[in-house]
Chains A and B, each alone.
Chain A
Amino acid sequence: MHDDTPTDEHARLILPRWRESPPGTHPPLDAPAYRSTALRHPRRQLDRLPQTLTEVTGPRFSFRRVEAGEEDLTAQHDGEPLGERIVVHGRVLDGDGRPVPETLVEIWQANAAGRYRHAGDRHPAPLDPHFTGVGRCITDAEGRYRFVTIKPGAYPWGNHHNAWRPAHIHFSLLGRAFTQRLVSQMYFPGDPLFAFDPIWGSVSDPRIRERMVSAFDLDQSLPGRALAYRWDIILRGPAATPIDPHHS
């Protein structure tokens, strides 16, 4: 059992640590096809930050941050939003397959027409007065999360000629330690825009890329009401328990 509570025995501080992400897991900061990276990626080699108490601990907002109803994006207004109602659910796990319980999951997304409720979104598609596109929930003891929302539309962006983002939902996960923090995007299976999207393509290994695609899930679909998609999110896992050099 991996216990993420630091120990301070005999005034010796031995911490649980988190393993490094295998190479290729995360996209490079410099990805020329995604033009906004050009002036925003560090050019210097990253220094290595040892995992000390600050890094192996992290905020917990399990009880305070989320209000009832924040997990249902179709019920936040007086009327029903337009579009295809969907259930999005899954588990948050660590790299050893253990659930990550009681952690905050936040999502934001475009509406069914591909438009965000944001002053900066100039896409001439309609806003939906009944859709904000923001949801939050807390994982349960088995790491499960679940949202009810609207399938977001694809939308155009200015990266290159005729650039369109595949439909996606933005996800933010606090995890249980500073090292586990993750922001990602969930995609839908079989999207024809994948091949043309440099953000999707920034993860170069096709097998790793597939981890961002949800699976259609008939079992969890609500008869007469909503189709379901399942997406498990895998955060960094714990490293092997460190050996105390003073005790051996």
Chain B
Amino acid sequence: MSTDAAPAGTAAAPGETPSQTVGPYLHIGLPWPEGPFAVSPETPGAIRLHGIVRDGAGDPIPDALVESWQADPDGGFAHVARRPDATDHHQRPFPSFRGFGRSATDADGRFAIVTLKPGPVPWPSDLPADGPPPIRQAPHVDLSIFARGLLHRVVTRCYFGDEPAANERDPVLRAIDPARRETLIATPTADGYRLDIHLQGPDETVFFAL
């Protein structure tokens, strides 16, 4: 291992490394067997969050990757990974919940992540929002989409169609053109929720700059 003492960046802060596309062969490198499981599928309340990623012609994208990051049903984050053999000081309410899911799309552009429905997440006190604090965000899942032809990931959020009251009050949703909010709202299905992602076109998903 390198033992050079002078840490890079002490003289001048180094510039950020640019993003590049995952390319067409992401399937050899990024999928993990457990990737699509943000929680063990036997967990009570486990849901499938699934959909199809499509391009501007409406065609499914078979070389895309969807990653999810979200709160647990209590609104908490599995922020710090623990050693598998560690004994927890605090009883964790959702022991197998990782908060993170990763699903490559299949030949039909389909992705699916097994997870728990998140709880409401507090809104930071120092950000503007209409309404008296404390303000809670509606349950949501952050999504990153990578693909051949995407030089940088695109970021979106998934909200839940059976939370109309919470969605109505959510500061992020409220800031979006009402005609386009639907692109972020997943439809309840028999085993979970469905959210299709349109990278381009008349139904283009709302994507965010972070």
Contacts and interface: CB of A to CB of B under 8 A. Distances in A.
Interface of A: 5, 8, 11-15, 18, 21-22, 25-29, 31, 34, 36-44, 46-55, 57-65, 89, 91, 93, 95-99, 106-108, 116-118, 120-121, 132-134, 140, 142, 144, 146, 170, 172, 178-179, 181-185, 199, 202-203, 207-209, 211-212, 219-220, 230, 232-237, 242-246
Contacts of B70: 54
Contact of A14 (B8, B126, B200): B126
B149 interface: yes
The 6 closest A-B pairs by CB, nearest first: A97-B9, A108-B29, A36-B149, A49-B208, A59-B100, A60-B81
Contacts of B150: 29, 37, 40-41
A41 B199 CA distance: 6
B199 A12 contact: no
B111 to A, nearest CB: 15
A117 to B, nearest CB: 6
B153 interface: yes
27 contacts: A8-B122, A11-B134, A14-B124, A27-B20, A38-B56, A40-B147, A49-B208, A59-B100, A63-B82, A63-B83, A64-B84, A91-B8, A96-B13, A97-B14, A120-B24, A121-B25, A140-B1, A146-B1, A181-B67, A185-B21, A199-B151, A202-B151, A211-B18, A232-B8, A234-B14, A234-B15, A236-B16
A199 B20 contact: yes
State which size class the interface on B falls in.
35 or more
Interface in B31-68: 32, 55-57, 59, 61, 63, 67
Interface string B144-162: 1011111111110100000
Contacts of A15: 124, 126
A42 B205 contact: yes
A65 B10 CA distance: 31
A230 B7 CA distance: 14
Contacts of A144: 1-2
B140 A54 contact: yes
Contact of A57 (B79, B171, B204): B79
A25 B18 CA distance: 5
A54 B142 contact: yes
Nearest to B59: A39
Given A42-B205, A47-B176, A93-B9, A27 B19 contact: yes
A108 B57 CA distance: 29
B2 A39 contact: no
A143 to B, nearest CB: 9
Contacts, number: 277
Contact of A59 (B27, B69, B207): B69
A55 B149 contact: no
A31 B1 CA distance: 38
B206 interface: yes
Contacts of A134: 28-29
Given A59-B99, A64-B84, A170-B20, 10 more contacts: A40-B56, A54-B140, A93-B9, A97-B10, A120-B63, A172-B30, A183-B146, A212-B18, A242-B126, A243-B126
Contacts of B84: 63-64
Contacts of B144: 178, 181
Given A34-B151, A65-B32, A26 B19 contact: yes
A170 B29 contact: yes
Given A37-B151, A39-B55, A98 B9 contact: yes
B39 to A, nearest CB: 13
